[in-house]
Amino acid sequence: MSIRVDYRASLSLVGTVLKYLTVPLCLPVAVALSYGETVAPFLLTVALTLLVGAGLERLAPEPDIGAREGFLMVATTWIAVALVGTVPYLVEAHGIPLLLEPIHPGSTLGNPANALFESMSGFTTTGATVLGTINVTDHTRGVMIWRQLTQWLGGMGIVVLAVAILPELSVGGAQLMDAEAPGPGIEKLSPKIAETARVLWGAYLAITVVEILLLYGLDLAGMAGANMDAYNAVAHGLTTMPTGGFSPQARSIEAFSAAVQWVIIPFMVIAGTNFALIWHALSGSPEKLWRDTEFRGYLGAMAVLTAIITGLLFTGGFATGVPEGATFDAAYLQQYAGMISGNLEPAIRHALFQAVSIVTTTGYASMDFDVFGAPAQYVLLFGMFVGGSAGSTGGSIKVIRWIVVAKAVRRELFTTAHPEAIRPVRLGGRTIDERGVRGIFTFTLLYIAIFFLGALVLYLDVARAGIEFTVLEVISGTASTLGNVGPAFYRLGPMGSYLRFPDSSKLFMVVLMWAGRLEILPLLVCLTPEYWRR
Amino acid sequence: MIIVGAGQVGESIAADLSDAHDVVIVEQDPDRVEEINYNLDVLAVEGDGTSVSTLEEADVADADMVIASTDDDETNIVVCSTAKAVSDAFTIARVKNTEYLRTWRRSRSAFGIDFMVCTYLLAAESIVRVVGLPAARDADTFADGRVEMAEFDVGEESPLAGQTVAEADTYDSLTFAAVVRGEEMLIPTGSTELRADDRLIVIGTPRSVRAFAGDVAPDETALSGEVVIIGGSEIGYHVARLLADRGVDARLLEQDPERARQLAEELPETIVMETDATDIEFLEREHIGDAEVVVAALDSDEKNLLASLLSERVGTDRSVAVIDQSEYVDLFEAVGVDVGVNPREVVAEEITRFTRAGGAENVALVESGRAEVLEIEVSPDSPLVGEPIRESIRSLPDDVVIGAITRGGEYIVPRGETVIEAGDHVVLFAAIEHAETVASML
């Protein structure tokens, strides 16, 4: 058997990407320095990353990659950065032998499986956490900002960033971005792919900065609540635009004022919008937004879900009791049920925040949505399968695929009655060729199949480990990790964590997050023998 | 005048122009050259129209106009560019591909072409006019669409049969231009009696023409049902597109899967079906018989005849067929096709309107060229100016009818006492033998 894939070239490029990953590590270093914390965890990460990166680069000094090598490179990059991302977590819990005492020996991220889960959850912008306690006293501020930064880096895509920076990726770059970017196909915004990648990252950076300034402005104006400060403004700016959802606050966005919640909603909406579209809107043709079928479908989906949840909450659709081990108590339930039932503003705000957060796969929470009644929770579970727009930082199936599926189904109904009719599937005046439609059907079906299989595997694994989970937890946990959403329900809710899962389940979920971020096919194709041999 | 390409169109134009102009035809096929030299009073030259030497042999430097009318688009374009390079002649090119037309329209001087006519588009426009005006055999618009000319059959059951023109003419803004009875062409007066099987040529506002169509055949009022287009040829495509623009429901049948797919992509509002239109079972299952009009636009005349007859058999009200061979038009209409449209004739008509002397703005040939309806901007020294029509009409040949007048965009009903002013647009009907005289007089 001979291997027909130049894996050395792929790995060499992964090495290059790793080398460049050391640049953004400056941010946690700066944060650690300004708060008088040790920078050792990050220095070690830099050293290790450079070492591994340089080592991988030596495999092929002048890598030349084709389409197949591209898939391997993208898939490997994501697991490689996730592994590198674990280093600060591990060092914080264990220290460095002979050099550094453990900083927070009680950290749950001392367990390598937990560290990998947290790191993958970060880079894939999932936002599911296995931290035992979330605050800046049980963890250093440097490590907590690193956790936020992993999401920001993963949001627009590490490979997209590499294409923007590395000249050697200019030719195969489009394919690489296609393999990494969410949604079917990419839109070139300029003739040069590197320029496109730079434009995307530029817009992403600019909008992030705007959000940070707004959040900090609210704080300066005294309208952001007691917990907001410059650190939190930056931390949340870093995880909104990538639809990430990590927060250094244990209570997520509940820790802030209603004004902050209102400000974050539009940024989540932007984050779930196609960035090419945003770029067009910002560069002088905002009418393109309203003409875009997907954007209208995306807003429509969120509006419908919001309306349903608002109705349910307004009429008092809350949990009837506090289940054992729940993330909330009776007082909390009473407080929110009393505050929201019959009051329009809080009902709309919390319904809108949760619906937008789940549909865009951000995963923030403005309150513990575990107190929602079952119908409202189900609406959110449904929302986990909608996803953001193609070309956004959102995960899951994506609105555009659902639109195409719906149109293709309608076409099928028509051609059943009129077998001779030819009806191309149209999207905003353009027709989608049948290959494209087939690809979308394949992906959607595969996604749902993996969801069901994944839930089954997870259930069998927790049963083997003898840990009790409810059906809702397993199903919502699978949907949430595969869709890169973050929080699930019950003990996996926005104020809970995935810590109770056995290590084997966590590693399985790492794979789900990885597959979900790359939209399954680029990862799956690397696992087929045909990929390697023919 | 130089005409390059002696096909049907070239010959037809040459025949039309030879009365008043010196026409030179350039043609590659020696047999065809000989034929033309015998048949027409023109000079046929053998040679390649794209080469400067051939054009010079045809004396291009002194030519007023070069008409490129071969069957090949690119050749026609090169002919015009070449002619433009070596002379000041007005160049007219005939093309099939609408892409070239689109390019040309953007600058109006692209390729060195002064006027471009697109066969398929013109044929499709002509079909849509016929389809849009049921009962009309022919229809054409003038003066930016403010004036319409239409030709109607007076059927046996038509309420008009037996009425006099004065009784039938209940519309202010409608003029009865001519009555065709067999081989005879009458200029009607108020007492002329209309008979079954007459053909009636009327000129008026589009609204009155449409309303009059309802009088001629009350059963076939304005198009309300569906149009089925058989054949996804270029003409079929343009018909579907133009109908979609007018909000008419249309189905397009095409046999070739790839072409059907392509058409479906380009025509979002049309239902494209991939099928053999001669499949009776399909025609019945899809209720093609319920369609108001079937347009046969397949690539052969025989197939179009068959498709039209089949659709009429399953119950379609009207059939319109594209007929390539002009000799077949009468035959097909006799057998049962309601209206036959000959693309070459349509193109020849369009080119002729540009070659007319006297500044005619717009010309329509009616009754296969036996008469013309033309639009003329009246010059100050025209005999029509300054006198009531009743007087001034005397200076024109007998069989000329002034059908409509527009002045500054306003429609004016021509009456005996109406005084025409310089600058008015006059739409008039004239027998072919007087058409050119009239055009130059006004």
Strands B371-377 and B410-412: unpaired
CB A126 within 8 A of CB A513: yes
Same domain (yes/no): A318, A434: yes
- Report the gap between the CA of B274 and the closest CA in chain A (Å): 5
Region of residue A324 (left: phi > 0; alpha: psi -120 to 50; beta: else): beta
Q: What is the pTM of this model?
A: 0.78
Q: At what angle do helices A434-465 and A471-482 cross, to 10 degrees?
A: 140
Query: Which CATH number do you get for residue B75?
Result: 3.40.50.720
Give the type of residue at B103: T
Q: Which residues have CB under 8 Å from B6's CB, separation 6+?
A: B14, B25, B26, B27, B29, B32, B33, B36, B44
Sheet holding B65-68, edge to edge: B43-46, B24-27, B2-4, B65-68, B90-95, B115-118
- Report the gap between the CA of A436 and the closest CA in chain B (Å): 14
Q: Which residues of B touch A426 (CB under 8 A)?
A: 268
Residue of A nearest to B273 (CA): A421
Residue of B nearest to A425 (CA): B265
Asked if the structure places residue A190 within a domain, the reply is no
Residue A287 burial (CB count, 10 A): 10
Cβ of B268 within 8 Å of Cβ of A429? The answer is yes
Same domain (yes/no): A25, A155: yes
What is the interface pTM, i.e. ipTM, of the complex?
Answer: 0.74
Strands B425-431 and B400-407: antiparallel
Hey, what are A531's tokens? 């990929």
Instruction: Examine the fold and report which residue of A180, A210, A225 is the final residue of a domain before the chain moves on.
Output: A180
> Best of B253, B265, B270 to disrupt the A interface by mutation (most A CBs within 10 Å)?
B265
User: What does the alpha-carbon distance between residue A244 and residue A362 come to, in Å, rounded to a whole number?
Assistant: 5
- Banded model confidence at residue B426, pLDDT cuts 50, 70, 90: confident
Minimal Cβ distance to B274: which of A422, A424, A426: A422
Asked if the structure places residue B265 within a domain, the reply is yes
pLDDT digits over A119-138, tens only? 999 999 999 999 988 998 89
Asked if the structure places residue A297 within a domain, the reply is yes
Q: Which residues of A touch B272 (CB under 8 A)?
A: 421-423
Same domain (yes/no): A303, A441: yes
Select from A47, A43, A51, A113 the least CA-distant residue to A83. A113
For the stretch B138-141, contacts whose Cβ atoms lie closer than 8 Å and that sit 24 or more positions apart, written own/partner, are: B138/B339, B138/B364, B138/B366, B139/B209, B140/B362, B140/B364, B140/B373, B141/B206
The string over A295-320, giving b where at least 16 C-beta atoms fall within 10 Å of a residue's C-beta and e elsewhere, is: bebbbebbeebbebbbebbbeebbbe
Instruction: Give the count of domains, chain B.
Output: 3
Residue of B nearest to A414 (CA): B271
Q: Which residues of B touch A423 (CB under 8 A)?
A: 264, 271-272
Q: Which residues of B touch A418 (CB under 8 A)?
A: 271, 273, 286
Q: Which residues of A touch B278 (CB under 8 A)?
A: none
- Residue A324: φ, ψ to 5°: -65, 135
User: What does the alpha-carbon distance between residue B246 and residue B238 come to, in Å, rounded to a whole number?
Assistant: 12
Domain assignment of residue B383, given as a range: 346-441
CB A206 within 8 A of CB A193: no
pLDDT on residue B333: 85
pLDDT digits over B45-102, tens only? 888 888 888 888 888 888 888 889 888 888 988 888 888 888 888 888 888 888 888 7
Instruction: Examine the fold and report which residue of A156, A180, A204 is the final residue of a domain before the chain moves on.
Output: A180
pLDDT digits over B111-166, tens only? 888 888 888 888 888 888 777 765 666 777 776 667 888 888 887 777 888 888 88
Question: Which carries the bigger pLDDT value, residue A332 or residue B226?
Answer: A332
- Beta bridge partners, A463, equal none
Asked if the structure places residue A305 within a domain, the reply is yes
Cβ of A422 within 8 Å of Cβ of B261? The answer is yes
Give the type of residue at A290: W
Asked if the structure places residue B377 within a domain, the reply is yes
Number of A–B residue contacts, CB under 8 Å = 31
On the question of pLDDT at B358 being above 60, the answer is no
pLDDT digits over B359-375, tens only? 455 667 777 667 888 88
Same domain (yes/no): A155, A286: no
Asked if the structure places residue B247 within a domain, the reply is yes
> Best of B271, B278, B282 to disrupt the A interface by mutation (most A CBs within 10 Å)?
B271
Same domain (yes/no): A141, A289: no
Low-confidence ranges of chain A (pLDDT < 70): 1, 165, 167-173, 179, 181-187, 534
Instruction: Examine the fold and report which residue of B63, B79, B113 is the final residue of a domain before the chain moves on.
Output: B113
Cβ of A420 within 8 Å of Cβ of B282? The answer is yes
Chain B interface residues (partner A, CB cutoff 8 A): 253, 257, 260-261, 263-265, 268, 271-275, 282, 286
User: How many secondary structure helices (H) and strands (E) does chain B include?
Assistant: 16, 22
Same domain (yes/no): B251, B340: yes
Asked if the structure places residue A526 within a domain, the reply is no
**DSSP state, A490?**
G
Asked if the structure places residue B404 within a domain, the reply is yes
- Beta bridge partners, B368, equal none
Instruction: Examine the fold and report which residue of B69, B86, B113 is the final residue of a domain before the chain moves on.
Output: B113
**DSSP state, A485?**
-
Domain assignment of residue A365, given as a range: 279-509
Asked if the structure places residue A254 within a domain, the reply is no
Cβ of B264 within 8 Å of Cβ of A423? The answer is yes
User: What does the alpha-carbon distance between residue A73 and residue A159 come to, in Å, rounded to a whole number?
Assistant: 9
Asked if the structure places residue B17 within a domain, the reply is yes
Cβ of B273 within 8 Å of Cβ of A422? The answer is yes
User: What does the alpha-carbon distance between residue A86 and residue B341 come to, in Å, rounded to a whole number?
Assistant: 77
Cβ of A423 within 8 Å of Cβ of B265? The answer is no
CB A237 within 8 A of CB A212: yes
Asked if the structure places residue B235 within a domain, the reply is yes
- Beta bridge partners, B365, equal B372
Instruction: Give the count of domains, chain A.
Output: 2
- Report the gap between the CA of A431 and the closest CA in chain B (Å): 6
Asked if the structure places residue B92 within a domain, the reply is yes
Residue of A nearest to B283 (CA): A420
pLDDT on residue B10: 85
Residue A326 burial (CB count, 10 A): 20
Q: Which residues have CB under 8 Å from A434's CB, separation 6+?
A: none
Instruction: Examine the fold and report which residue of A157, A180, A203 is the final residue of a domain before the chain moves on.
Output: A180
- Beta bridge partners, B341, equal B322
Cβ of A423 within 8 Å of Cβ of B286? The answer is no
Same domain (yes/no): B259, B341: yes
Same domain (yes/no): B355, B273: no
Mean pLDDT of B172-193: 83
Same domain (yes/no): A414, A300: yes
pLDDT on residue B189: 81
Cβ of A421 within 8 Å of Cβ of B261? The answer is no
Minimal Cβ distance to A420: which of B263, B268, B275: B275
Helix ranges restricted to H, B87-145: 98-107, 119-132
Hey, what are A286's tokens? 């905002």
Cβ of B274 within 8 Å of Cβ of A420? The answer is yes
Asked if the structure places residue B131 within a domain, the reply is no
Same domain (yes/no): B309, B418: no
Same domain (yes/no): B33, B93: yes
| H or E segment and range at residue A431 | strand A430-432
Q: Which residues of B touch A421 (CB under 8 A)?
A: 271-274
Residue of A nearest to B257 (CA): A422
Cβ of B263 within 8 Å of Cβ of A422? The answer is yes
Asked if the structure places residue A201 within a domain, the reply is no
pLDDT digits over B381-416, tens only? 888 888 888 888 888 887 788 888 888 778 888 888
User: What does the alpha-carbon distance between residue A69 and residue A11 come to, in Å, rounded to a whole number?
Assistant: 9
pLDDT digits over A329-344, tens only? 999 999 999 999 999 9
pLDDT on residue B144: 62
Chain A interface residues (partner B, CB cutoff 8 A): 418, 420-424, 426, 429, 431
pLDDT on residue B361: 56
Same domain (yes/no): B330, B394: no
CB B377 within 8 A of CB B356: no
User: What does the alpha-carbon distance between residue A509 and residue A503 come to, in Å, rounded to a whole number?
Assistant: 10
As to burial, measured by CB atoms within 10 angstroms (0-12 exposed, 13-18 middle, 19+ buried), residue A106 is exposed
Cβ of A421 within 8 Å of Cβ of B271? The answer is yes
Same domain (yes/no): A311, A429: yes
CB B320 within 8 A of CB B294: yes
Q: Which residues of B touch A420 (CB under 8 A)?
A: 253, 273-275, 282, 286
As to burial, measured by CB atoms within 10 angstroms (0-12 exposed, 13-18 middle, 19+ buried), residue B246 is exposed
Residue of B nearest to A423 (CA): B264
Q: Which residues of A touch B226 (CB under 8 A)?
A: none
Residue B410 burial (CB count, 10 A): 9
Minimal Cβ distance to A420: which of B261, B263, B273: B273
Query: Which CATH number do you get for residue B430?
Result: 3.30.70.1450
On the question of pLDDT at B357 being above 50, the answer is no
Same domain (yes/no): B31, B100: yes
- Residue B129: φ, ψ to 5°: -60, -45
Hey, what are B252's tokens? 């397009």
Cβ of A420 within 8 Å of Cβ of B263? The answer is no
Cβ of A422 within 8 Å of Cβ of B268? The answer is no
Q: What is the mean pLDDT of chain B?
A: 82
pLDDT digits over B28-59, tens only? 888 888 888 888 888 888 888 888 888 888 88
- Report the gap between the CA of A524 and the closest CA in chain B (Å): 32
- Report the gap between the CA of B263 and the closest CA in chain A (Å): 9
Instruction: Examine the fold and report which residue of B61, B91, B113 is the final residue of a domain before the chain moves on.
Output: B113
pLDDT on residue A449: 96
- Report the gap between the CA of B298 and the closest CA in chain A (Å): 18
Cβ of B264 within 8 Å of Cβ of A424? The answer is yes
Helix/strand/coil for B103 = helix
On the question of pLDDT at B246 being above 80, the answer is no
Same domain (yes/no): B59, B80: yes
Cβ of B272 within 8 Å of Cβ of A431? The answer is no
Same domain (yes/no): B410, B434: yes
- Residue A46: φ, ψ to 5°: -60, -45
The string over B134-169, giving b where at least 16 C-beta atoms fall within 10 Å of a residue's C-beta and e elsewhere, is: bbbbbbbbbbeebbbbbbbbbbeebebbebebeebb
pLDDT on residue B133: 64
Strands B65-68 and B318-322: unpaired
Same domain (yes/no): B335, B355: no
